[in-house]
Amino acid sequence: MWTAIWPLTMNTEKRIPPVEPGTISANSGIFHATVIAFARRGFCRWMLTSLLMFAACFTASAQSDYSRVEFGGEFSTIRQNDPKTENGKNFPGFGGRFDWNFDRRLAFEAEVDFFPEQSEVISFRRGGQTLQAVFGLRAKVLETRRLSVFGLVRPGLFHFTDVLSYSPGAGLPGQKLGATYFEVNLGGGIEYYLSPRWVLRADIAGNPYRVPQQAKNVAGVTVSYPGSVEDTTRLSFGVAYRPGTLRENEGERKVPGNWGFGPLFSTLVTAPAGANNSIATLSGLGAYASYRFWRVLYLDGDVLYFPQDTHGPTNLYGGPVLEGLLGLKGGIRRNHFGFFGKVRTGFQSYAQALQGIASQPNGTVEYSYGRSTNFALDLGGIVEFYPSERGTLRIEAGDSHTFFSAHTVNVNGTSLRYDLGMHHTIQLVFGYGWRF
């Protein structure tokens, strides 16, 4: 009655589909896959966020002048991992950027990069040449006359020229299909000022992107992909020029208040729950609280509830989602805005994970479900705007890593164990709060 498919793999890039009603997979769990996944995918960004927090703890005399407009060019590399192995490859590229400086710290930034080398075709996900375009905010958390440390929160688009290659039928030429995906560019870097007009820059960023559910007719056969949240890392080195009138730095006023709290609205893009389920975009409500305990370091946490059913019960997850995160945010609050890096840990809890399958004497099959709670690591940025003396408009963007623990399913009295590994989720959060 049951078939054994989807064997266990220690490769964290390769997703292991879960058990669904009517299909069983007998695997042994492995704990260190979680450690490997974090070390390879999250460590660089964790170090970057920590650097931004650390840099924000120090003050120094800032560069005396800035201009409203800034143009730059850069050399970049983007790392694309092979889902079949533990290896990856860095693809070189080039691009340009434009900055509009609202003041000496905060800027709107747009950047476009092109990676001309042909990457391996991974059907429905990526392949061929790569184009990246991002648009968002850059904020400096540390400034001296020669150096600054900044953070980036820039949503945008990934375009791949050759995501799927196929022949539509016998005797017909092969075809290549491109694809464009939504992404969130999260990171930061340093700037060095050669002069008031010339700037050297280096930055690193993570780029989680959403691959939607797709179905294609390949030589008369419908082939589908349930969707996923993929991730890559980009490193850039560039130079910029500031034309126009140089403006003298204005004075800054610190924003008062040690406590902050308020309601939140969140969008959570999660990986698919099973081989036959599409990627989910969930909407939820919750609240946040924040407490400044030392200069520019805050204890910060969110609690969010997503009432939608995540594709129906499977052994990965199912049902409504409860998420709780608590950790550190570090950054600056000056004049009418604040910019922070965040490192928070917590949990994502799913109400209807598959726990048991039992065959009945009458030939029917009964399924039992229970709660599945898993460790979560949230990395990203928080931007705050202060429209009034005590009011706070809060925007969060993050790559929330969910580390699914080994899961056991009881099948007619036999316990089967599954290693589910780490999954990325893209999370955007909006809220309004109060400071006191």
Lowest mean pLDDT, pick from 35-39, 45-49, 227-231: 35-39
Quick check: is 54 in a domain? yes
Q: How far apart are CA 110 and CA 146, in angstroms?
A: 24
Looking at the structure, do residues 407 and 426 belong to the same domain, yes or no? yes
Q: In 224-242, which positions are buried (b, 16+ CB within 10 angstroms) versus exposed (e)?
A: ebbbbbbbbbbbbebebeb
Q: Are residues 225 and 138 in the same domain?
A: yes
Q: Would you say the C-alpha torsion 337, 341, 345, 346 has a positive or negative sign?
A: positive
Structure confidence at residue 182 (pLDDT): 96
Indicate whether 32 belongs to any domain: no
Q: Locate tokens 């800034």: which residue?
A: 70
Report whether 87 contacts 172 (CB < 8 A).
no
Query: Is 16 within the bounds of a domain?
Result: no
Contacts of 190 (CB under 8 A, 6+ apart): 147, 148, 149, 150, 201, 202, 203
Nearest 5°: CA angle at 328, between 324 and 332? 130
In a domain, 306, yes or no: yes
- Where a domain ends, among 197, 216, 250? 250
Which sign does the torsion angle of CA 61, 66, 68, 71 carry?
negative
Q: Are residues 135 and 283 in the same domain?
A: no
Same domain, 338 and 424: yes
**272 and 230 in contact (C-beta within 8 Å)?**
no
- Same domain? 381 vs 278: yes
Rounded-to-integer distance, Cα 297 and Cα 290, Å: 10
**Would you say residue 377 lies in a domain?**
yes
Is the model's pLDDT at 386 over the cut of 90? yes
Q: Are residues 168 and 93 in the same domain?
A: yes
Least confident of 15-19, 81-85, 249-253, 336-340: 15-19
Does the pLDDT value for residue 313 go beyond 80? no
Q: Is 49 helix (H, G, I), strand (E, B) or coil?
A: helix
In this predicted structure, what is the pLDDT of residue 57?
A: 56
pLDDT of 259 higher than 60: yes
Q: What is the CATH number of the domain that holds 58?
A: 2.40.160.20
For residue 309, name the pLDDT band (cuts at 50, 70, 90).
confident
Range of the domain at 208: 43-250
Residue 195 and residue 279 in one domain? no
Spatial distance between the Cα atoms of 166 and 365, rounded to a whole number of angstroms: 40
Q: Which residue has the higher pLDDT, 396 or 12?
A: 396
195 or 369: which leads in pLDDT = 195
Q: How far is Cα 317 from Cα 262, in angstroms, rounded to an integer?
A: 29
Is 420 within the bounds of a domain?
Answer: yes
Q: Work out the pLDDT band at 61, boundaries 50, 70, 90.
A: low
Identify the pLDDT of residue 217: 73
Residue 123 belongs to some domain of the structure: yes
What's the mean pLDDT in 129-153? 94
| Amino acid at site 232 | T
Answer with the one of 250, 271, 301 that is the final residue of a domain: 250
Give the pair of three-digit tokens for residue 351: 């109400």
Q: Indicate if the pLDDT at residue 271 is higher than 80.
A: no
Contact 117, 94 (CB under 8 A): no
pLDDT of 317 higher than 60: yes
Strands (E) across 360-390 are located at 365-385
Which of the given ranges, 191-200, 225-234, 350-359, has the highest pLDDT on average? 191-200
pLDDT digits (tens, 9 = 90+) for 207-255: 999 998 888 777 677 778 888 898 899 999 999 999 999 988 888 888 9
Q: Which residue has the higher pLDDT, 370 or 303?
A: 303
Residue 26 lies in a domain: no
Verify that 375 and 389 share a domain, yes or no.
yes
Per the model's pLDDT, the better-predicted residue between 227 and 51 turns out to be 227
Q: Label residue 150 left, alpha or beta by phi (over 0 means left) and psi (-120 to 50 means alpha).
A: beta
Summarize the confidence of residues 327-337 as an average pLDDT.
Answer: 93
- Based on the fold, state whether residues 344 and 201 are members of the same structural domain: no
Token digits of residue 198:
């010339």
Of the three residues 232, 250, 268, the one that is the final residue of a domain is: 250
> pLDDT category, 44, cuts 50, 70, 90?
low
For residue 308, give both structure tokens. Answer: 């939608």
**Same-domain status, 294 and 244:** no
Domain count along the chain? 2
> Percent of the chain scored above 70 by pLDDT?
78
Burial class (CB in 10 A: 0-12, 13-18, 19+), 72: buried
Same domain, 79 and 228: yes
% of the chain surpassing 90 pLDDT: 49
The confidence score (pLDDT) of residue 390 equals 93
Burial of 251 (0-12, 13-18, 19+ CB in 10 A): exposed
Residue 154 to residue 116: CA distance in whole angstroms: 22
The two three-digit tokens of residue 426, written as one number: 């893209």
CA-CA distance, 338 to 395, in Å (whole number)? 10
- pLDDT for residue 24 is more than 50: no
Instruction: Kindly tell me if the per-residue pLDDT of 299 is higher than 60.
Output: yes
Q: Looking at the predicted structure, is the pLDDT value of residue 286 above 80?
A: yes
* Same structural domain, 259 and 244: no
Q: Residue 282 pLDDT > 80, yes or no?
A: yes
- pLDDT beyond 80 at 16: no
Structure tokens at 64: 């005396």
- pLDDT higher than threshold 60 for residue 20: no
pLDDT (average), residues 356-384:
89
What is the chain's mean pLDDT, rounded? 82
